[in-house]
Structure 1
């Protein structure tokens, strides 16, 4: 088909399914020549104007299923069998030329990792415009106008200025919104969204879901891969539950989430953490879900060989001497201010922010995407230098050259594990690299430490030999957390540490972080848009908006009696998982 004229649309029968998938099987070649079956006989239908949720643990085959539909698989992956009929076209057997006309125009894709999907060398507005001009849907000038308008539709403030920015100049949440805008700008009849709200705070998540609902109501079909059961309940009509590449349960949202038939579905529901769980506990502490070890992929530890959650191996690190005043805050940030300059204009990211982090306690930092949370995290870590203000670690100014030795006492878990892990290093080498650079332990001890940490975050020691790109997004985040824990830091700055994790592994990680804090007295700065995680983990909570802290206080007071209207807005936007008549014992 020539690009000289507008791309022709595929004919659809209104009485037939929009998408009909039958017996889809996808495999990946291993280094030893064997083939790992990631998707095994998946079958479903989707009608126009309906939304299907695909849920399950990380590694269950959710993302591979939707990527197989558009044949967006790595070189080691291939479709072994099955059909995926979109209208009169079988996507599995379609030519590359046909698929190029379908992708973007007929089927929009929202990828899990926006930084990986967006071109880092092109402003985001131009990338959106190209999605229109490539299919000859409008002129260049019209495409630019529609790009700005669509960025505004997905909740990006000041879209005209943000359209001139490059992806790395946007926050993680804004990049994800830009990715959603790219998927919907050409008016596709099917939108496939792989964790589209993972990086979004609750208020913007609500805006984006409302926008997607409007598109769905116009007749567009939706497939949403998500580990957020609240999003599935709020937005989707039907649901597939996947485990180890197979569909284990399917039905309408109410059928599956309110009265699950399969133990695996019940386990996912029982592991879900919601705002209010802490308040419902008799002692006011978090009600910890049962410790769970995922069985979604063969490389993950089984219940029999999973480590005990209590002990950790002998430390390789000699702890730094603590302050004489054990009650003194270990981190004090005073009047931090930071402005970024770019071709799109100046961004005043942090405005006169002061905070303290007590030893052995957790400060939760919440707010919308772009509110300045991640910038504060990088200022506290010493990765950014403030325009004014200072950060003290145990009384030492982090930006004083004489205090570089103090920096090893702080570690960070970044929001985007794929961007923070070294892709040419194995998982084991990623974990041991900080120990090697600081000459901590022997090579054998570092290797043992990596194996231990992989077990603790729900992976297998055998995974130490694999590379980051061979793991799912949730598994990559577990490796990033293991790497941060390797030198046993005194302060851990966690920037959305569980945003890429399914509910069962999230429960494991939160239990692990709580255990480490209790045993070692580690202080946490926890940044998250998941308010249930913040409520469970935090002693104090600070709420940020437009670069400033608008409310701060004890965790119970913030969640029970918020004072600022913006805090009320965040809490009101939470999507509940529990439905009327839910049968889970955890919901009693």
Structure 2
């Protein structure tokens, strides 16, 4: 069956995108209306990039989803206009929008695991984006899919194209999502946190690729909480708060000389490598204790129809009570696999993990694992969707047999307050929260039983800068009070510098460098560590690695 669609009629004289007075609301249970986007107006020309920044829940994602009418049933567009090269997006028929989506506008969603079809290999999904619009033959589409996967920095693209989304790391899934958005060479790319799951080296590759596309005349809208990415890539910026645009203008002007207090708050909350505040106190020699968690010579290979992946190669590490080990490296380097081996979620092919001298994979593994909790990279995938936020936390306490039902409910409300949510949010379901809010719930659930070890796999990757600062302060406070040990996995080197006592750098499944935080950031020895630090995008002027901590 030929499912190709004819192109829509484009007005070459019209602006690429013109939005005026856009208002979008959500229907409340009491019959009222919550206005999430209130009077948003902007204009985007070809070959320009616009950043939309603001805190989680400020209306950024709802704004861009409104443009393509990708809204849940409880939401509706209340007013305003949006035109893409003369096409009325708000009043367009569903048939017209199907022609626009993918062909004229490519969309990069915040959660690649949700956006990609879990039952279809990623290469075939990319190819279908071309054949559905009749842009080339199936054979040509397959070849272009492999090429585009390589363009966005996915290693061994021909092999990865045969893999399913769940077989890829979080960063690779995000790159596959970006590849799908750009493969048809659309006029406009709309990206919702496109680099959230990417390490700094791959982030640089993806931004360079998007820059090439922009230079060919493609417009781009980027929703991001990473002001360094916004400064590096975008020409203009909208700052949103509570559904409204509070400040806008050229990116350098707004970030260097912000007029509004809200914009200044976002900049002050942004953490950068070399910040004085990014320096946990050094541990005095008299306080050094024996390691609480030890991993010895871990090795793990995954096998599938697409081949085999040697994910972890002879990895050893140790964390003492009250200390944080930061684990960094590019997407697919094996960081998350190490986390799952430590938690006992994967069995190592060789090696062992000891907690207080006891093997977490041994006979007492269930008791040992009760002392360790994990914050996963994908908050929505880790939360129970049919449980409310409060019930997700309460269920963790119930399974650990902690407290009475009343005490569990009180503890859930207390933890929601600690991570920046209201106690009333306990009655809402995960899908009713933004991505950043979902991660806050996941962190609250992990903290509920007050574990001895907390394994954090990208715990702040989905959070805006102000909430990130709150969460990092919260984790530091809990560590100081309870002596909990953290294994912190992150591609955000400023977060690792802020939280870690020691740092291990992974590449291709192996640890290539490790040492005290001061040594790694101030005097790195391995060329790959140098590459990671050199790829950091500054928000405030130029960065001198290690200058504030040398």
* Structure 1 residue 6 displacement after superposition: 5.8
Match of 2:353 in 1: 391
Post-superposition Cα deviations, 1:449-493, rounded to whole Å, max 9, x if no partner, equal: 000000000000000000000000000000000000000001000
* Structure 1 residue 406 displacement after superposition: 1.4
Match of 2:363 in 1: 401
What secondary structure is seen at the aligned counterpart in 1 of 2:351? strand
TM-score by length of 1: 0.90
Residues 4 and 131, structure 2, Cα contact 8 Å, conserved in 1: no
Match of 2:323 in 1: 361
What secondary structure is seen at the aligned counterpart in 2 of 1:389? strand
Q: In 2, Cα distance between the equivalents of 1:241 and 1:481?
A: 27
Match of 1:290 in 2: none
Within the candidate set 498, 514, 520, 1:558 is matched to 520
Post-superposition Cα deviations, 1:480-513, rounded to whole Å, max 9, x if no partner, equal: 0000000000100000000000000000000000
Match of 1:568 in 2: 530
Residues 55 and 62, structure 1, Cα contact 8 Å, conserved in 2: yes
Within the candidate set 303, 306, 325, 1:341 is matched to 303
Q: In 2, Cα distance between the equivalents of 1:530 and 1:34?
A: 40
Match of 1:307 in 2: none
Match of 1:148 in 2: 146
Post-superposition Cα deviations, 1:538-560, rounded to whole Å, max 9, x if no partner, equal: 00000000000000000000000
Match of 1:109 in 2: 107
What secondary structure is seen at the aligned counterpart in 2 of 1:277? coil
Number of residue pairs matched? 538
Q: Provide closer, same or farther for how the CA distance between residues 52 and 3 of structure 1 changes in structure 2, counting only shifts above 3 A.
A: farther
Match of 1:382 in 2: 344
1:118-129 aligned within 5 A:
118-129=116-127
Post-superposition Cα deviations, 1:221-250, rounded to whole Å, max 9, x if no partner, equal: 000000000000000000000000000000
Q: In 1, Cα distance between the equivalents of 2:171 and 2:441?
A: 22
Residues 105 and 186, structure 1, Cα contact 8 Å, conserved in 2: yes
* Structure 1 residue 13 displacement after superposition: 2.2
* Structure 1 residue 9 displacement after superposition: 4.4
2:488 corresponds to 1:526 = yes
Residues 126 and 144, structure 1, Cα contact 8 Å, conserved in 2: yes
Higher mean C-alpha deviation, range 432-441 or range 546-555 = 432-441
Match of 2:404 in 1: 442
Q: In 1, Cα distance between the equivalents of 2:267 and 2:290?
A: 41
Q: In 2, Cα distance between the equivalents of 1:386 and 1:378?
A: 10
Q: In 2, Cα distance between the equivalents of 1:531 and 1:439?
A: 37
Post-superposition Cα deviations, 1:149-190, rounded to whole Å, max 9, x if no partner, equal: 000000000000000000000000000000000000001000
Match of 1:305 in 2: none
Residues 3 and 135, structure 1, Cα contact 8 Å, conserved in 2: no
Residues 340 and 348, structure 1, Cα contact 8 Å, conserved in 2: yes
Residues 3 and 132, structure 2, Cα contact 8 Å, conserved in 1: no
Match of 1:193 in 2: 191
Structure 1 residue ranges, 4+ long, deviating more than 6 angstroms after superposition: none
2:499 corresponds to 1:499 = no
Match of 2:284 in 1: none
Match of 2:541 in 1: 579
Match of 1:253 in 2: 251
Q: In 2, Cα distance between the equivalents of 1:326 and 1:226?
A: 40
* Structure 1 residue 255 displacement after superposition: 1.2
Residues 371 and 451, structure 2, Cα contact 8 Å, conserved in 1: yes
Unaligned runs of 5+ in 1: 287-324, 581-585
Within the candidate set 79, 90, 93, 2:91 is matched to 93
* Structure 1 residue 4 displacement after superposition: 6.2
Residues 42 and 246, structure 1, Cα contact 8 Å, conserved in 2: yes
Within the candidate set 212, 235, 238, 1:237 is matched to 235
* Structure 1 residue 432 displacement after superposition: 1.1
* Structure 1 residue 112 displacement after superposition: 0.1
Q: In 1, Cα distance between the equivalents of 2:200 and 2:136?
A: 34
